Amino acid sequence: MLVYPRIDPVAIEIGPVAVHWYGLMYAVAFILGWVILQRRRDRIGVGAQEVDDLAFACILGVVLGGRLGYVLFYNLDFYLSHPLAMLAVWDGGMSFHGGLIGVVLAVIWFARRHNRPILAVGDFLTPVVPIGLGLGRLGNFINGELWGRPADPALPWAMIFPHVDRIPRHPSQIYEVLLEGLVLFVVVWVYARRPRRNGRVFGLFLLLYGVFRFGVEYFRAPDPQLGTLALGFSMGQWLSLPMVLAGAWLLVAPPGSAEAKAYGSD
């Protein structure tokens, strides 16, 4: 069995200013995503300033949507009783599904502002999303949070999280780094290299993320304030089911006028 190597969540501390690893992961993801989008902007024929606008809107969507999603989906009763705590983002609490909704709204705003097909913009953005997912889950592991369910002690990579208990557990954060980060990035990136009808790349992302997240939830400990919900599913599983359905529909839907042109190929 492995033992979780308790890691200081603070990466850099200068006087009263502390930079946490989790926040640093977000910053690295945003920078990498911006660099890649700038290099790929010819895919939909946008300029450097337009990419800046899209990146900034998506950052707002991730942060605001992720926080609001956590409040609404995971801990609404607490925040209704402590409304000012909603602003305490430094205490943690972000939801991927809320962040996704925020990014979708940002893409819709950008597409309408710049008169571009919404699905084409979504396909342009999608290949960089797994980078943020993988780095975010790595930040969860560094923080020693979102640990897994109890595992067979014979499992070679079963891990004890001493700050939780002495029970061998699945390192579910690492499962998500590999699936939602590495595997999803490779598959979506390769798929996006060839011309596709608008919406196909985004659809593949939705489908695969939903499947990966639904499966990993069986190895991840449920949120203590929620536990399991109807049918024994966790909140993460229930929120992932619409993604699977929407992704499958985008992949098989017949082309429409908004999907008439793919955004390019390598």
**Average pLDDT of the chain to the nearest whole number:** 90
Beta bridge partners of 150: 169
Q: Is residue 67, in this structure, part of any structural domain at all?
A: yes
In a domain, 239, yes or no: yes
> Is 265 within a domain?
no
Question: What range defines the domain where residue 165 resides?
Answer: 2-259
pLDDT tier for residue 119 given thresholds of 50, 70 and 90: very high
Residues sharing a CB contact under 8 Å with residue 133, sequence separation 6 or more, in sequence order: 96, 176, 180, 181, 184, 209
Q: Which residues pair with 235 in a beta bridge?
A: none
> Is 266 a domain residue?
no
Classify residue 155: in a domain, yes or no. yes
Whole-model pTM: value is 0.90
Whether residue 203 is contained in a domain is answered as yes
Q: What pLDDT, on the 0 to 100 scale, is given for residue 254?
A: 76
The whole-number average pLDDT for the span 82-92 is 77
Quick one: average pLDDT of 97-126? Answer: 95
Is 137 annotated in a binding site? The answer is: yes
Residue 249: inside a domain: yes
Given this model, what pLDDT does residue 17 score? 84
Instruction: pLDDT band for 257, please (50, 70, 90 cuts).
Output: very low
- Which run of H or E residues covers position 50? helix 48-74
Looking at the structure of the chain, the number of domains it has is: 1
- The residue type found at 254 is P
Answer whether residue 58 is part of any domain: yes
